[in-house]
């Protein structure tokens, strides 16, 4: 899905940012990535509108955004959500 630029360190950065959000707080992170051989940007936003979980959104080229959406659907289906 992502050739490079969003690996364990970047995932940890997102998790730390999301985990530190106070209620009604929002954050945005941006990463230079390579997708399908092309350099592009991946933006991740998170908004803590609930005390248990933040809303997280990914902004990327359409093909990558669609692939992320599909993976998220599978993930949430497996959790029964």
Alpha-carbon dihedral sign for residues 80, 9, 12, 21: negative
Q: What is the pLDDT along the chain (81 residues), one digit of tens a residue?
A: 899 999 999 999 999 999 999 999 999 999 999 999 999 999 999 999 987 889 999 999 999 999 999 999 999 899 887
Please give the Cα distance from 64 to 10 (Å, whole number). Answer: 17
Query: Which of helix, strand or coil describes residue 67?
Result: helix
- Tokens encoding 56: 């997280």
> Cβ distance 41 to 54 under 8 Å?
no
Hey, which residues does 34 pair with through a beta bridge?
Answer: 4, 39
The residue extents of the domains of the chain are: 8-78
The reported pTM is 0.86
Q: For the chain, first and last CA: distance in Å?
A: 24
């Amino acid at each position: 899905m992502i050739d490079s630029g969003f690996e364990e360190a970047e995932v940890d950065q997102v998790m730390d940012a999301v985990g530190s959000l106070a209620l009604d707080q929002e954050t945005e992170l941006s990463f230079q990535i390579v997708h399908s051989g092309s350099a592009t940007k991946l933006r991740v936003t998170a908004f803590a509108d609930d005390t248990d979980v933040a809303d997280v959104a990914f902004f990327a080229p359409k093909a990558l955004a669609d692939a992320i959406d599909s993976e998220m659907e599978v993930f949430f289906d497996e959790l029964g959500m």
